[in-house]
Amino acid sequence: MSFEEDLDRQRARIMRAVRYASDGWAAAMRAHKLAPPDAGFAQRLRDLAEAAMNEQVAWEHAHGAGLLWRPVPGAENAAPPYELRPGTGRRGPTLLWERFDAAVAALNHAITGSSAAQVADAFGEFAEVTRALADAVAAEDAMAEARRPRAHGAA
């Protein structure tokens, strides 16, 4: 196999991984977009964090293969789904949400450019803070559940 054929195979494999990661990211976004208020919020955050992590890995490989992210114009001020925006009563630590908002801004900035490495880094930070938020919200849910009076089963 020639060098060029090997390069083509490698790129094709990476492009499939990118497409797979994209499907996961899009599904996670739709889950947030269409969600009823609050129900399953922690799990949606967890799924989103995993989708972002898969994006990070895919775009790191893309960068390693010399591939670029095709710029998305006008992304600088784009907003995530409603329940992830500031001012919507988001549950969880304020400091983490501030870090999340910064990660959104960084991701918006990255996707206006073409650097796959920068996109990967932005997805990585987004994944990390979203996972931390998922853990924090899940802990809140668990505490609320523990405090809830048990109506059944006492007899």
Partner 1 sequence: MSQSEPEETYLTVAEVAETLKLNQQTVRNWIDQGTLPALRVGRRVRIKRSDFERILEQSYNANRVAPSRQAGPSADDFWGGEPVGVAEPGPAPGRGAARGSGPGAEGGG
State the residues that interact with partner 1 by CB under 8 A. Answer: 3-4, 7-8, 11, 14-16, 18-23, 25-27, 29-30, 33-37, 55, 58-59, 62, 66-70, 72-76, 78-82, 86-92, 94, 97, 108, 111, 114, 116, 119
The count of C-alpha atoms lying within 13 angstroms of the C-alpha of 21, restricted to the half-sphere facing its C-beta, is 22
Task: Tell me the C-alpha distance between 128 and 105, whole Å.
Answer: 15
Min. distance of Cβ 54 from partner 1 in angstroms?
A: 10
Min. distance of Cβ 4 from partner 1 in angstroms?
A: 6
Other residues' Cβ atoms within 10 Å of the Cβ of residue 20: 13
Distances in Å between the Cα of 19 and the Cα atoms of 30, 57, 76, 141, 142 are 16, 12, 23, 34, 35
Q: Which is nearer to partner 1, 97 or 153 (CB)?
A: 97
Q: Which is nearer to partner 1, 34 or 144 (CB)?
A: 34
Q: Which is nearer to partner 1, 31 or 154 (CB)?
A: 31
Q: Which is nearer to partner 1, 14 or 46 (CB)?
A: 14
Residue 120 makes CB contacts below 8 A (sequence gap 6+) with 55, 56, 57, 59, 60, 62, 63
The amino acid present at 90, given as its one-letter code, is R
Q: Which is nearer to partner 1, 94 or 153 (CB)?
A: 94
Min. distance of Cβ 152 from partner 1 in angstroms?
A: 20
Task: Tell me the C-alpha distance between 54 and 139, whole Å.
Answer: 24
Min. distance of Cβ 149 from partner 1 in angstroms?
A: 19
Min. distance of Cβ 138 from partner 1 in angstroms?
A: 15
